[in-house]
Amino acid sequence: MQRIGVLTSGGDCPGLNAAIRAIVRSAIALGWSVTGIRHGYEGLLRGEVVPLDAAAVSGIINRGGTMLHTARSSEFETSEGMKRAAAALDQLGLAGLLVLGGNGSLRGAWELSKLARTPIVGIPKSIDNDVGGTDCAIGFDTAVNTVLEAIDRIRDTATSHDRLFLVEVMGRKNGYLALAAGLAAGAEEVLVPEVPTDLDAVCRRLEEGKRRGKRSSIIVVAEGDDAGGAFAIAEAIAKRVSGYEIRVSVLGHQQRGGAPTAFDRLLASRLGAAAVNVLKGGQRGKMIGLIHDEVVVSDLERAWREMPRFRPELVTLASVLAS
């Protein structure tokens, strides 16, 4: 009987538990057993392991967060720490390790994979959707819907008070989350790092909107937008456009939590089950993804070398449809 390990690394997101469940149950179906490593790479270094049987993952498919917990590890980021982690991993005597992580954590998995004998396979998760090798990372769809629900609520009060709202959404380096939620919410503007933000043009459109009788507006801002965060942009707009009462809302950490959507549970279930199969096939240094509804195995490097396609034309579409 083989034993494999699983850990979750980096920021948590909805769907991790569904993936852990799929890994455990798929492994058991092969006659294998599963060891959970708590607190990500930090826990690997500290030897925090816990056995995961079928009952341990019962009733978790619909729960946000990660039952294995996660943590940042500064030691793991040093070459010394990485070596220690490789040794610690090999000492566990696992037939393979599955790492649920974003592009940074999967890069860590790749480097670890070069030092350790234990085969490692990565599974992409990220509410920012910034992982290559898959159309969509686990957690993104739920986060989009969570943000959307918050903006729908803010829209109620924006309309009632004839206000201009700037809603800041997670996304330091990219605007997938802001774009998807903003377009779905019918936001007047979506400001993202991928498209240089022209505040003059934004203000011009706000003025035009006012002339057409628009009294309230929603601007969705990815936190890493080049024009600054929502507060800075609000100030800049206030200086240029009059007649709007402006409010700012920073959505914060609620974007990471909540019960996963159907899409995320399906994605996590399929990727988790497929990752076990990759280990079974004897592969290492790989990642698993879903591309056009097919499970695809890629080299781990793809996770951070290739981003999902960003569609700047949808930024424009958002403004057109909100006119």
Interface with a copy of itself (CB under 8 A), residue from 47, 51, 53, 59: 59
The dihedral built from the CA positions of residue 141, 142, 143 and 148, taken in this order, carries a sign that is positive
- x/- track of binding to a copy of itself for residues 167-186 (CB under 8 A): -------------xx-xxxx
The letter for the amino acid at 38 is: R
Alpha carbon distance 48, 40 (integer Å): 9
The letter for the amino acid at 239 is: K
282 vs 309 by CB, closer to a copy of itself: 309
113 vs 174 by CB, closer to a copy of itself: 174
Interface with a copy of itself (CB under 8 A), residue from 26, 105, 134, 217: 26
Q: Is 156 in the site for a copy of itself (CB under 8 A)?
A: yes
Interface with a copy of itself (CB under 8 A), residue from 31, 79, 242, 253: 253
Q: Is 297 in the site for a copy of itself (CB under 8 A)?
A: no
214 vs 284 by CB, closer to a copy of itself: 214
CA triple 75-76-77, angle to 5 deg: 90
Point out which span in 6-14, 90-98, 200-208, 218-226 binds a copy of itself (CB under 8 A): 6-14
Q: Is 77 in the site for a copy of itself (CB under 8 A)?
A: no
CB of 177 to a copy of itself, least distance (A): 10
Q: How far apart are the first and last CA of the chain?
A: 62
Tokens of 193: 């790092």
189-210 b/e (C-beta count within 10 Å ≥ 16 → b) = bbbbbbbebebeebbebbeebb
Burial class (CB in 10 A: 0-12, 13-18, 19+), 263: middle
The letter for the amino acid at 149 is: E
Point out which span in 109-117, 188-196, 282-290, 311-319 binds a copy of itself (CB under 8 A): 311-319
Q: Is 91 in the site for a copy of itself (CB under 8 A)?
A: no
Residue found under tokens 């006012």: 210
Burial class (CB in 10 A: 0-12, 13-18, 19+), 33: middle
**128 counts as catalytic:** yes
CB of 21 to a copy of itself, least distance (A): 7
Interface with a copy of itself (CB under 8 A), residue from 65, 81, 228, 229: 65
